[in-house]
Structure formats: C-alpha cells, structure tokens
C-alpha cells in the first residue's frame, strides 16, 4: 500500500517542480523583454566596426567627424555609415546632426560612389576585395579637413543654375557659412552648405 502512495507523491512533487521552473522561465523572458530606453531618445549611430542592425540592414562600418557647420559657435556631428549585407552592394548613409541632436541632413549614397576618381578605371577591372578596400578607404577620407571650406561661396562665384536666387543670396552674403565637399551619387562632386536665414542645409552644386 505504501508503494503506490510513494509513486503518487513523487509524481505530484515532479509536476509542482516543473510548474515552478516554467513560471520562472516565463518571468525571466518578460523581464528580459522589458526595456527602459526611451523610444523618443536621439538616435546615436553605433561605434565603428560594430555589426549591429538598423532597419534590417547590417552596419558594416562607421566614420565620424566634428566640425562647425550649422552654427559658427558649436560643432555639428558628421557621420558616414555603411549599411547592407556586402560592401559593394551596400548604401552609405551620410548624416549630419547639430549639437542638440537634430538631423539637418540625411543623404543615402551607393557604396560605389565612395570609389575615388583615381580608382574609376581600377573599379572596372579590380577584384571584389580590392574594390571593397577602396570603398572603405574612401570612407576614411570622407571627412578630411580639406573638404571643409569657409566661406561656402567664394567671392565672384557664379550662381548655379539649379539653385534659386533666394537661397543663393543667403549663402553668398554670409561669410561665416561653411561648405563641405563630397562625392554624391553617380560620382558627381557636390558642395553642401547651411543657410542660417533659411535654417536648412542645401546643396550648392551637384
């Protein structure tokens, strides 16, 4: 008579133990899924070399620079971030934020735009690895100091056909405006500047 009772008691004890373990697992999962991060917080790009994912795309490389742009009294943050599965087919996100964390420019370029003009012929015959190295080198030199110029519009510069007169005047008449030169989509050289009067970044030439 004692044997069946012992078996029943052991079974009941085993069921109770499993229930406690299951409850513990569920609680742990719930606690792990609870985030204290404010979803409205300012976006901060991950550090260079990390392999995080943003909007389903892997961050392959990130370079940063700090330079006066929208405000002559403080520096803005310049970020170039390569997102995609492979370097050659990825996209370069060019982002500029002010010291308050507001995005004042976000432009998306194909990674191949980072190949310098000197490497244009090489790009057609070089190996995939060589092209990838050239793109990453292009990222490293994207924010070199020589690419920044002040004033953004040198005296005597003719107004570009694609820029309206009002915007051109605000930049031409502002000696503190800073220009930034970079290679855009299609390999075209661009100069970007910030209009204090209009409160926005504009591309002067493209």
pLDDT value at residue 96: 98
User: Which structure tokens are listed for 98?
Assistant: 């002010």
Phi-psi region of 100 (alpha: psi -120 to 50; beta: other; left: phi over 0): alpha
Mean pLDDT throughout 176-185?
92
| Whether the predicted pLDDT of 161 surpasses 60 | yes
Every domain of the chain and the residues it spans: 53-205
pLDDT value at residue 184: 85
pLDDT digits (tens, 9 = 90+) for 49-94: 455 666 657 899 999 999 999 998 999 999 999 999 999 999 999 9
> Among candidates 161, 171, 118, 164, which has minimal Cα distance to 141?
118
Bridge-based pairing state of the strands 189-195 and 200-205: antiparallel
Residue 194 · residue 143 · CB < 8 Å: no
CA distance 126 to 112: 13
pLDDT value at residue 54: 61
Q: What is the pTM of this model?
A: 0.71
> Among candidates 198, 146, 206, which has minimal Cα distance to 177?
198
Q: Place 14 in a pLDDT band, splitting at 50, 70 and 90.
A: very low
């Amino acid at each position: 008579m004692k044997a069946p009772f012992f078996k029943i008691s052991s079974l009941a004890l085993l069921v109770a133990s499993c229930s406690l373990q299951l409850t513990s697992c569920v609680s742990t999962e719930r606690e792990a899924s609870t985030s204290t991060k404010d979803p409205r917080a300012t976006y901060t790009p991950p550090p260079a070399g990390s392999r995080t994912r943003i909007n389903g795309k892997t961050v392959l490389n990130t370079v940063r620079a700090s330079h006066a742009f929208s405000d002559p009294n403080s520096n803005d943050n310049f970020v170039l971030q390569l997102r995609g599965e492979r370097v050659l087919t990825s996209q370069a996100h060019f982002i500029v934020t002010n010291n308050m964390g507001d995005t004042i420019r976000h432009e998306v370029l194909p990674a191949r735009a980072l190949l310098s003009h000197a490497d244009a012929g090489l790009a057609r015959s070089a190996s995939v690895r060589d092209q990838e190295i050239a793109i990453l080198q292009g990222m490293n030199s994207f924010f070199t100091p020589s690419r920044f110029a002040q004033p953004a519009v040198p005296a005597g510069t003719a107004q570009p056909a694609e820029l309206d007169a009002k915007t051109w005047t605000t930049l031409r008449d502002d000696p503190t405006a800073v220009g930034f030169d970079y290679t855009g989509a299609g390999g075209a050289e661009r100069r970007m500047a910030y209009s204090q009067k209009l409160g926005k970044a504009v591309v002067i030439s493209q």
